[in-house]
Structure formats: structure tokens, C-alpha cells
Amino acid sequence: MRLILVRHFRTQSNEARRIMGWGDAPPAQNWEEDLRLVDQCLEQHHLVIDAILSSDLGRARETARYFARRRGLAGVESHLAFNEVNYGELFDLDKDSACTAYPQFKTDPDYVFPGGESFRQMQARSQAQVQKLAARHPERTLLLVAHAGVIRALVCHFLGLDLAGHLRRKVSHRYIGDFQFQAGRCLRYDELGQPSGFVRDGIISLPWNAPTTLTGH
């Protein structure tokens, strides 16, 4: 399976640096500009998308429908497993206030937010759903619209990075991740759009290839 992973459109809460989690917010002004650039990049790489998926949150579903219309695809398959981390009581807090009131915010992946979940729990559900898709669609190319937290979690899981050190890596709305799976294992990862913090901060080099497993004689 080839999984093309993108982020949803910019929202007013993104621009105001407010926490959404499982909530939603209206699109920001000129929100389509990012999507047009992502779409152009997909076309430049001659990607043929077999199906489009998204999280179950409105901003991701609407973004997925945009790409579906552009490709003449009938529908979008949404999965709660790809929802952003559930921040619970932190919903709609500005991020500076969240950092002050909750020191564990973006520092401790195992901290369970009051009324919500932990980053580690979100990572477990999202990577498990990718594994199911890889088993179900071994020869297909899927486009998944998700969230910055989910993107960080999936990159860390499939590239063998510790989530604890990467909760603040930048993921823009022009990010395009390209994962290639075989037998449930990510063999290759690349980025086709605006580089993520994993690349810009020197954490990984592209294209990333899975280490070869050597067996003794």
C-alpha cells in the first residue's frame, strides 16, 4: 500500500493558536490556497489516488471532499481512529495558556488530558488503523486527510522515532507525506510538499528507507 498523508485546511482556530482536538472551527481566510498547492504537487508527481480517507472531524472530511471532487471520486471514507488527540477540557484554550496550566502539554506523550486521552493513546489507535488498511489494500494508493498530531504520531511510529521527543515538530498545511508499505511494514518514506520539522530540524533525511534486517549464517 502507498499512503499519501496530508493535513486538513487551515482553520480560524489554527490561526488564533487555539486548541481544537475533537472540536472544530470555521476555515481561515484564503484556506483553499494551501489545498490548491497540495493538489498541484500531487498532480506533478502523477499520483493516481484509488480512494480518499479522512478522520471523522469536519475540517478533515471537508478537505477530503475537496480532493475527491478534484479527482472525480464519489465519496470519502472517514475513520474516528484518525481523529486528532482528544484534548478534553483543553478544548478552545489558547496554546500559551495551555502550556502554563498543563506543563505536560506537548511534553509528555503519556499524560491523559482531563476528559480526553494521551498522545500515546492517539498514536496507538491511528497506527493500528493504518495497519488494517495496509492489510486490506496492499496494492492501492490511498490519500488520507488527518491532523498535525496524528501525522507526528504516524511518522514516529513507522520510522521508529520516540514520540516524546517530537510532539512539537512543525507540520504545515502544505505537508504531503508519502509512506510505502509492504507486509504491514513501512519500507520507504518521503515528503512531497512543504518539509516537516522532522526534515527541517535534521531528524531524518529523505527519502527515508527502512533499515535492512540482516540474518546470521
pLDDT averaged per 10 residues, the chain (length 217): 98 96 95 96 96 98 96 94 97 93 94 97 98 96 98 98 97 98 95 98 98 60
Residue 74 has a pLDDT of 87
Distance CA(19)–CA(5), nearest Å, equals 21
pLDDT score recorded for residue 217: 42
Report pLDDT for 213: 64
Per this entry, what is the length of the chain? 217
According to the model, what pLDDT value does residue 184 have? 86
Q: What is the dihedral of CA 61, 67, 71, 76, to 10 degrees?
A: -10
Domains of the chain: 2-209 (3.40.50.1240)
Is the separation of the CB atoms in 155 and 196 below 8 Å?
yes
Only one residue has cell 506537548, namely 106
Residue of 156, 123, 137 lying closest to 77 (CA atoms): 137
